[in-house]
């Protein structure tokens, strides 16, 4: 690590978060025993991250390569979501089959050897927890609970410092219930409610069916789950921050052509449903504040804008000439007349595809590190290059063909 950043946020903030996650990954007993042994073994010496990883693997008997690749050696962050689940009553216990998905931000590699807790809220509103392990982007895991789950929650005990800020409230009176980047206004309540909101700092899933002209946020969304006993009257409020270069919504909202009339709130009840526009109120023309939705609905929420110039009909997210999932990919020249060169700098991509903005695939070929593409058969216009790796991790760039 360069000397000028030795005492920066990577060392202190990310280091502390990684160690917190390691404690959750190993469990308290194993973590503290291994930490004590490590400090005794390497007292008064310098140690590399690789040596630390190997010591922990040998001492604990747990392969730590997956953890270090996920939390130490890669940029960006990850989080997890439940795509779907089924519950089967098995003679008094409840077997649950869960489809999990790993989501990543500003990185291209999905973590393996993921270890996390799945908790359920029981009919008595007590919490029951089991541990699971899986590899890669998606997997189906199985757990069993002694009660019928009302809802499922990932990492209820906050053992992993992933890209999700979660909070739950037991609501028994009117007033505000506060969450991360959102709040629930309760104006009427006949009984009680348990409401959990997860603020996910990753891009939401893409549209199953494209919404013409609608661009989704590429940085965050909310997942709202819970149980309501009796009747409840509420408003949901979601925070937006559009301060130049620092706000989480700056890229989405800050373009000079984006007016309040173009802003959208998107909702879907579950991961199998398509995003849909819902009514909302933006109280002021400020660059930060809360967007109000008139009632509580369980499901996922995100921001969007109506902006045909940035609309991605492929459902791949926002189109932008200079950004994408992988900053190590370059295309030159761009714009181009006769040929373009693509360089992926040893990122492991093995397939190259070219699409029109309407989503029509024009070309697909094998790819290794770099390639040169002839544009003689292409008419002038805008196209998308997509590179795909062995784990179906994709990176995209837009290029322009000129006459």
Here the CATH number for the domain that contains residue 242 is: 2.60.220
Q: Would you say how long the chain is, in residues?
A: 403
Distance from C-alpha of 317 to C-alpha of 218, rounded to nearest angstrom? 7
Query: Three-class SS of residue 144?
Result: strand
Domain-embedded: residue 82: yes
For residue 240, the tally of other CB atoms under 10 A from its CB is 22
Domain-embedded: residue 325: no
**Is residue 241 located within the same domain as residue 195?**
yes
**Is residue 290 located within the same domain as residue 347?**
no
Instruction: Indicate the number of domains in the chain.
Output: 4
Domain containing 377: what range? 330-401
User: Which of 287, 319, 351 is the last residue before a domain boundary?
Assistant: 319
Domain-embedded: residue 178: yes
Domain-embedded: residue 324: no
Residue appearing with tokens 């690749």 = 69
**Is residue 190 located within the same domain as residue 269?**
yes
pLDDT digits (tens, 9 = 90+) for 245-302: 667 887 676 554 455 678 899 999 999 999 999 999 987 766 788 999 999 999 999 9
Among 101-105, 189-193, 355-359, the range scoring the smallest mean pLDDT is 355-359
Domain-embedded: residue 240: yes
pLDDT digits (tens, 9 = 90+) for 305-341: 887 666 655 555 544 434 444 557 888 898 888 999 9
**Is residue 64 located within the same domain as residue 208?**
no
**Is residue 234 located within the same domain as residue 351?**
no
DSSP conformational letter for 11:
I
**Is residue 158 located within the same domain as residue 180?**
no
Residue appearing with tokens 């270090």 = 68
Domain-embedded: residue 173: yes
pTM of the model: 0.78
**Is residue 52 located within the same domain as residue 155?**
no
User: Which of 319, 347, 374 is the last residue before a domain boundary?
Assistant: 319
For residue 186, the tally of other CB atoms under 10 A from its CB is 20
Label residue 398 by pLDDT band (50, 70, 90). confident
- Which residues, including other chains, have CB under 8 Å from residue 93's CB and lie 6 or more apart? 144, 145, 146
Distance from C-alpha of 237 to C-alpha of 296, rounded to nearest angstrom? 10
Distance from C-alpha of 347 to C-alpha of 93, rounded to nearest angstrom? 46
**Is residue 290 located within the same domain as residue 353?**
no
**Is residue 168 located within the same domain as residue 153?**
no
């Amino acid at each position: 690590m360069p000397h000028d950043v030795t005492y920066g946020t990577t060392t202190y903030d990310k280091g502390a978060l990684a160690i917190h996650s390691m404690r959750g990954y190993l469990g308290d007993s194993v973590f503290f025993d291994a930490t004590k042994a490590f400090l005794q073994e390497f007292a008064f010496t310098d140690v590399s991250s690789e040596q630390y990883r190997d010591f922990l693997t040998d001492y604990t008997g747990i392969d730590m390569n997956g953890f270090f690749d996920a939390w130490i050696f890669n940029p960006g962050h990850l989080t997890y979501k439940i795509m779907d689940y089924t519950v089967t009553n098995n003679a008094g216990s409840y077997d649950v089959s869960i489809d999990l998905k790993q989501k990543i931000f500003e990185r291209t590699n999905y973590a393996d050897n993921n270890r996390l807790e799945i908790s359920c809220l029981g009919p008595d509103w007590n919490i029951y927890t089991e541990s699971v392990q899986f590899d890669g982007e998606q997997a189906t895991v199985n757990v069993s609970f002694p009660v019928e789950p009302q809802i499922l929650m990932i990492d209820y005990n906050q053992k992993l410092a992933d890209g999700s800020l979660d909070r739950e409230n037991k609501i028994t009176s009117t007033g505000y219930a506060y969450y991360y980047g959102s709040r629930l206004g309760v104006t009427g309540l006949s009984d009680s409610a348990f409401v959990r909101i997860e603020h996910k700092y990753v891009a939401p899933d893409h549209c199953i069916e494209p919404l013409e002209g609608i661009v989704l946020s590429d940085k965050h969304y909310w997942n709202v789950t819970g149980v309501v006993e009796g009747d409840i009257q509420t408003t949901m409020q979601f925070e937006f921050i559009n301060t130049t270069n620092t706000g989480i919504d700056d890229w989405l909202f800050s373009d000079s052509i984006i007016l309040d009339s173009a802003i959208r709130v998107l909702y879907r009840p579950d991961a199998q449903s398509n995003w849909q526009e819902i009514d909302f109120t933006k109280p002021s023309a400020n660059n930060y504040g809360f967007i109000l939705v008139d009632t509580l609905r369980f499901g996922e929420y995100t921001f969007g804008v109506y902006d045909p110039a940035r609309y991605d009909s492929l459902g791949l997210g926002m189109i932008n000439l200079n950004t994408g999932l992988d900053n190590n990919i370059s295309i030159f020249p761009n714009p181009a007349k006769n040929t373009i060169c693509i360089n992926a700098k040893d990122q492991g991509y093995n397939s190259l595809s070219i699409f029109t903005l309407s989503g029509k695939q024009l070309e697909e070929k094998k790819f290794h590190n770099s390639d040169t593409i002839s544009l003689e058969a292409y008419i002038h216009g805008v196209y998308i290059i997509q590179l795909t790796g062995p784990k179906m991790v994709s990176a995209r760039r837009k290029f322009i063909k000129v006459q």
